[in-house]
Amino acid sequence: MKDRDCVEFLQWSLPRLRMRWQGFRKVRGQVCKRIDRRLRELGLPDVAAYRAFLETNDGEWTTLDSLCNITISRFYRDREVFQFLEQEVLVTLSENALARGEGILRCWSIGCASGEEPYTLALLWDLVMTRRFPALSLTILATDRDPLMIRRAEEGRYKSGSFVGLPAELRKLAFFRKGDLYYIGDEARRKVAFLVQDIRKAAPEDRFHLVLCRNLAFTYFEPALQQEVLTRVSERLFPNGAFVTGSHESLPAGSCGFKPWPGGKGIYRKEVKEGEAGA
């Protein structure tokens, strides 16, 4: 499939999936390869034929939607974000929780893919934060719409390519090796619960002190859908809680209720409304 043909197809189809083409420019190669494989599975000669197929087969849109799911993930992705969480955000949230007499800090990782993000947060807590806040425990709910990704995350085994940004000392302390694979230790695994869930349609019932939704909604979703996601996050985030987006993402125009966390790139604090208790 020619790149030009795939681009034209994506520009036509993505809005129907409530996605935005701009977010797919740099990763379109991954999506185009998947679409090309799908054409061969269906015995279709080109994307024009696939477009006609979509017009007469509504169920195929669900398949196309899955083909557009970007699953780039690795440990300590955007290292400066986790450094800021360690030095600023987690410290503030923990101090506030203890001041209220709470014993658990609750976190939600949206679009967790194969689990590197929530496990990174668990490792950071185990190896750094727990010494400072021994009276406080951390729980993490990690959600993704892809059942295959969730199964991989629950297995907790990774190839060396997943550790490009992870400090060597953390890998040595938190993983054990079997052959060519690295397995995450039980201590970190116990902190993370995984759930198949699509943020475009649903959110957990619990409320959280920290929510991460990085390089997903505010890159790939259309503005109206971004606002819907932000509303779901706001409803699940305690006042004064922290919301982390991708370092190159921004919230949709007209967003209210969130203020940038001073010094944090892509990190926001949920404002406290009158009569609300802060997190």
Residue 275 domain-assigned (yes or no): no
Q: Are residues 164 and 213 in the same domain?
A: yes
Is 72 inside a domain boundary?
no
Q: Is residue 103 part of a domain?
A: yes
pLDDT score at 274: 63
Same domain, 208 and 258: yes
Alpha carbons 38 and 48: distance in angstroms, whole number: 13
What pLDDT score does 278 carry?
56
Q: Within this chain, do residues 61 and 83 fall inside the same structural domain, yes or no?
A: no
Q: Does residue 259 surpass a pLDDT of 60?
A: yes
Q: Is residue 228 part of a domain?
A: yes
What pLDDT score was predicted for residue 275?
Answer: 56
The predicted pLDDT at position 239 comes to 95
**Total number of domains in the chain:** 2
Q: Which domain holds residue 215?
A: 79-270
Same domain, 259 and 198: yes
Strand partners, 182: 158, 177
> Same domain for 199 and 250?
yes
More confident residue, 279 or 39: 39
User: Do 219 and 117 share a domain, yes or no?
Assistant: yes
Residues 6+ away with beta carbon under 8 Å from 139 = 104, 105, 106, 107, 191, 193
Percent of the chain with pLDDT over 70: 98
Q: Would 57 be classed as within a structural domain?
A: yes
> For position 277, what pLDDT does the model report?
57
pTM score, whole prediction: 0.94
Q: Which of 46, 67, 88 is the last residue of a domain?
A: 67
Residue 21's closest CA among 12, 33, 30, 32? Answer: 12
Say how far apart CA 97 and CA 139 lie, in whole Å.
13
Q: Are residues 13 and 97 in the same domain?
A: no
pLDDT at residue 170 in the model: 80
Question: Model confidence over 156-195: pLDDT tens digits?
Answer: 999 998 998 888 878 888 999 999 999 999 999 999 999 9
Q: Which helix (H) or strand (E) holds 50?
A: helix 47-56
What is the distance, to the nearest Å, from the Cα of residue 190 to the centroid of all Cα atoms in its chain? 19
Q: Enter the tokens of residue 37.
A: 């494989």
**pLDDT tens digits, residue range 76-114?**
999 999 999 999 999 999 999 999 999 999 999 999 999
